[in-house]
Structure 1
Amino acid sequence: MPDGLWEIAKPLLPEQRARLQGGGTQNTPDETVSAAIVYVLVNGCAWRSLPLCFGVSKSTSTAGS
């Protein structure tokens, strides 16, 4: 994602909350998830079909559910 676009989008995202219980896997960086979202929208693929180079879990799309 171009830096200029990221600078516009970044303030719109909520801050990540700390996990009080600890453990689990580390959160995927917002910039990486945003780039993956743009990829899905531009290419029309399903989230589960993202190339591995994004390093985004298939379950990331349901993290807030």
Structure 2
Amino acid sequence: MGEPYFLQYQLSDDRVVMLQFSNINDRDGCHISLDMYKAQLGPVTQAVMERILAKFQGTVWGGLDQS
């Protein structure tokens, strides 16, 4: 297994989460899907992020405080 791939993403409530993937294609697909959701359907909440994240076999690696 190779090194993990990470995606830092800001949710609609301004919290920043770090998402982890084992595959670069899953990371990129998740990022595209999150941005498309935001552009076409509205704010990306935690529930929306978790639903999209599950489709790409990702996990929440950690949350970062907005400073």
TM-score by length of 2: 0.34
Higher relative contact order (CA closer than 8 Å, sequence separation 6+)? 2
TM-score (norm 1): 0.35
Q: If each structure's strand is expressed as a fraction of its own residues, which one has the higher value?
A: 2
Larger Rg: 1
Q: Which structure's residues are more often helix, by fraction?
A: 1
